[in-house]
C-alpha cells in the first residue's frame, strides 16, 4: 500500500516561515465551523474592527472560491481572492491566496491593504470540553513575508477577529 504524504496541518512548524495562533474558546466546534463557512456569518466577524468584511463568497470544496472584500474605516475596499485546498467538515479548513478558484495561479496577491503578500492558512478545530481548541496557522514562502505579516499585526488582528467570532457566536 502506498503511503500518503502528511497533510498541511500535520507538517512541522517552521518558525522562520509560519505564524500560529492557538486558543481555547468557549464556543462549540460546530458553531465555529459555521462562522467560518457561511458567508453571512463570516461577514459579521472576520475583519478586525473598525474594518469590515462587506462581501463574501464561499465555495466550500477543494479548488472552490474563498473571496472576501474588506472595507477600511475610510471607505476604501480591498478584494481578496483565493481557493480552498482542504475542507474537512468541523475539523480543518485550508485555503491560499496564491491560487484562485479552480487552483489557477492568482498572480499578484494582496492580504487586505498593502503590498502583495501570498500565504496559505489553515484553521484547525478540536473539541476542548464544551468549547473548541482553535488553531490558525499561516505559512509564507520566505522569512521576509513572514516577518512583514507579523509586523502588519498578525497576532493582534487574528486574535481580534477570533474575539469577534466568539462575540458573534454568543449573540446567536
Per-residue pLDDT tens digits for 136-150: 999 999 999 999 999
Say what the pTM is: 0.89
**Spatial contact of 136 and 121, defined as CB atoms under 8 Å apart:** yes
Asked if residue 13 belongs to a domain, the reply is no
Asked if residue 3 belongs to a domain, the reply is no
- Which pLDDT belongs to residue 109? 59
How confident is the prediction for the chain on average, in pLDDT? 91
**Spatial contact of 170 and 46, defined as CB atoms under 8 Å apart:** no
Beta-bridge partner residues of 30:
none
Query: Would you say residue 50 has pLDDT above 80?
Result: yes
**What is the C-alpha separation between 56 and 68, in angstroms, rounded?**
4
Asked if residue 8 belongs to a domain, the reply is no
Asked if residue 5 belongs to a domain, the reply is no
Cell 483565493 appears where? 82
Asked if residue 72 belongs to a domain, the reply is yes
**Spatial contact of 96 and 83, defined as CB atoms under 8 Å apart:** yes
Domain limits for position 114: 18-171
CATH number at residue 99: 3.30.530.20
Bond from prior residue into 50 cis (ω within 30 degrees of 0): yes
**Secondary structure (3-state) at 53:** strand
Asked if residue 32 belongs to a domain, the reply is yes
**Spatial contact of 118 and 97, defined as CB atoms under 8 Å apart:** yes
Using 50, 70 and 90 to split pLDDT, how confident is the model at 62? very high
Query: Would you say residue 11 has pLDDT above 80?
Result: no
The model's pLDDT over 63-81, given as tens digits with 9 standing for 90+, comes to: 999 999 999 999 999 999 9
Asked if residue 120 belongs to a domain, the reply is yes
Highest mean pLDDT among 3-7, 110-114, 134-138: 134-138
**Spatial contact of 138 and 120, defined as CB atoms under 8 Å apart:** yes
Asked if residue 6 belongs to a domain, the reply is no
**What is the C-alpha separation between 136 and 121, in angstroms, rounded?**
7
Number of domains in the chain: 1
- Which pLDDT belongs to residue 61? 97
**Spatial contact of 150 and 131, defined as CB atoms under 8 Å apart:** no
Using 50, 70 and 90 to split pLDDT, how confident is the model at 116? confident
Amino acid at each position: 500500500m502506498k503511503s500518503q504524504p502528511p497533510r498541511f496541518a500535520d507538517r512541522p512548524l517552521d518558525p522562520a516561515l509560519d505564524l500560529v495562533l492557538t486558543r481555547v474558546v468557549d464556543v462549540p466546534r460546530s458553531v465555529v465551523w459555521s462562522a467560518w463557512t457561511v458567508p453571512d456569518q463570516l461577514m459579521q466577524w472576520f475583519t478586525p474592527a473598525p474594518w469590515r468584511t462587506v462581501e463574501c463568497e464561499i465555495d466550500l470544496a477543494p479548488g472552490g472560491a474563498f473571496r472576501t472584500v474588506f472595507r477600511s474605516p475610510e471607505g476604501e475596499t480591498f478584494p481578496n481572492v483565493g481557493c480552498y485546498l482542504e475542507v474537512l467538515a468541523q475539523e480543518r479548513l485550508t485555503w491560499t491566496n496564491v491560487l484562485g478558484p479552480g487552483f489557477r495561479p492568482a498572480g499578484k496577491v494582496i492580504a487586505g491593504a498593502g503590498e502583495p503578500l501570498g500565504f496559505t492558512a489553515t484553521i484547525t478545530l478540536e473539541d476542548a470540553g464544551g468549547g473548541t481548541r482553535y488553531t490558525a496557522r499561516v505559512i509564507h514562502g520566505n522569512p521576509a513575508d513572514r516577518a512583514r505579516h507579523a509586523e502588519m499585526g498578525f497576532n493582534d488582528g487574528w486574535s481580534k477577529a477570533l474575539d469577534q467570532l466568539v462575540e458573534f457566536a454568543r449573540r446567536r
